[in-house]
Amino acid sequence: MSETSTLRHFRQLDPQRQDELFLQAPLPFGDGDDRELLAVALGATLYVPATRPDLAAAVVRRATEGVCSMVLDLEDAIGDHEVEDAMTNAVNALDELASTDAASLLLFVRVRDAQSIRGIAERLTTGVRALTGFVVPKFTGESGGKYLDEIAAASELVGKQLYAMPVLESPELVFRETRDRELQSISALLAEHRDRVLAVRIGATDMCGTFGIRRDRDLTIYDVRVVADVIAGIVNYLGRTDGTGFVITGPVWEYFADHERMFRPMLRTTPFAEHDAVRFRQHLVSRDLDGLLREIALDRANGIQGKTVIHPSHVSAVHALSAVTHEEYNDARDILGKEAGGVQASGYRNKMNETKPHRSWAHQILLRAKVFGVTNKGITFVDLLTALVDR
């Protein structure tokens, strides 16, 4: 960890509450830290339209609420006629944020075109301190190179390493007949710029739009088969743990308000009853957060970490499920502590740990433990969520 790191997950909780929840508290991090650790630390990345008149104040407010990464959006979130004003607003906000505690956030600008990267870099003054990098929408093997070159040039111009986060959402990826060729092209391009690519983001909303689909709030993105197939392909090509892959972040969950339900809620009652939190479960269900929690769990099961979010209420859910449990931590340490291979029973006596097949998993667990912490024995995501929501 960098000596200048000041950002930390769960920092909004008071020290006593943190001691109750964590065996190993989350460590601080900053944009000068190792790229792989930073990618895992992104957590819930909150998007905000760059047209907001109170943009800097909004970022500061979210920082106090526990948000660690944000994107000032110049693309889909704003109208075509607002782009120039939004760019000016984003630059002014970054300059203003440079003198606040929120400057330590991982802050990105999502641009519409490659030229905007240079335009922003040339106009920034003190705001360079607050900027971590750029989000590149609709990234393809053909168009992505010019964005990555512009980010490299901007880094030289401002004297700071700026990161790229490409968003994979193009029709070339979605359509089955062009997918493999496109993924091969993207994989080769990103490999050339490995040190500059922080994480790969998935744009499932655009993918759904290719087929005129908008998934229902009672379903996860993995229930939409044509999109789930694309996600599987992206993870297969770009999520490998052999040194060629990248951290891949989960797509946005679009819902956050009450509605009439067609299907039963996705949250079991038992974990909440055990923690005397049945009413809290009802709150989560009423806000459609049960579907979000289910999707986060499926993201993790499919090799994806972190998530794009468009509502502040989603941040706590992502972070609560990102903390490493006492059981996961002990399993990971046991696996990495045995060099010769073989099989051994988990210390929890409920599973088998295979040293060689589970080794990459264990490394990822310990990396995540650094930035999201390790919970005390018996502490679950219910305890973390209630602590964050009750704050």
Taking only the tens place, the pLDDT of each residue in 375-391 is: 999 998 888 988 998 76
CA distance 146 to 138: 13
Note the pLDDT of residue 289: 78
Instruction: Check pLDDT > 60 for residue 7.
Output: yes
Note the pLDDT of residue 125: 97
Q: Indicate the range of 148-157, 164-173, 265-274 predicted with least confidence.
A: 265-274
Q: How confident is the model at residue 285 (pLDDT cuts 50, 70, 90)?
A: very low
Cβ 365 vs Cβ 329: under 8 Å:
yes
Note the pLDDT of residue 66: 96
Residue type, 229: D
Burial class of 264 by CB neighbour count within 10 A (0 to 12, 13 to 18, 19+): exposed
Instruction: Check pLDDT > 80 for residue 310.
Output: yes
Note the pLDDT of residue 39: 98
Model-level pTM?
0.91
- Greater confidence (390 vs 174) lies with 174
Mean pLDDT of 49-77: 95
Note the pLDDT of residue 76: 81
Q: How confident is the model at residue 300 (pLDDT cuts 50, 70, 90)?
A: very high
69: which 2 tokens? 């990464």
Instruction: Check pLDDT > 60 for residue 249.
Output: yes
Neighbours of 349 (CB within 10 A): 6
Q: How high is the mean pLDDT of the chain?
A: 90
Bridge pairing between strands 352-354 and 248-249:
unpaired
| Helix (H), strand (E) at residue 184 | helix 176-192
CA distance 338 to 340: 6
Taking only the tens place, the pLDDT of each residue in 255-284 is: 876 555 444 455 555 555 555 454 554 555
Q: Which domains does the chain have, with CATH numbers?
A: 30-322 (3.20.20.60)
288: left (phi over 0), alpha (psi -120 to 50) or beta: left
CA distance 306 to 297: 11
Cβ 144 vs Cβ 165: under 8 Å:
no
CA atoms within 13 A on the CB side of 174: 22
Note the pLDDT of residue 78: 85
Residue type, 82: E
Q: How confident is the model at residue 345 (pLDDT cuts 50, 70, 90)?
A: confident
Nearest residue to 2 (alpha-carbon basis) of 104, 151, 135: 104
Taking only the tens place, the pLDDT of each residue in 14-61 is: 999 999 999 999 999 998 999 999 999 999 999 999 999 999 999 999
Mean pLDDT of 75-100: 93
Q: How confident is the model at residue 342 (pLDDT cuts 50, 70, 90)?
A: confident
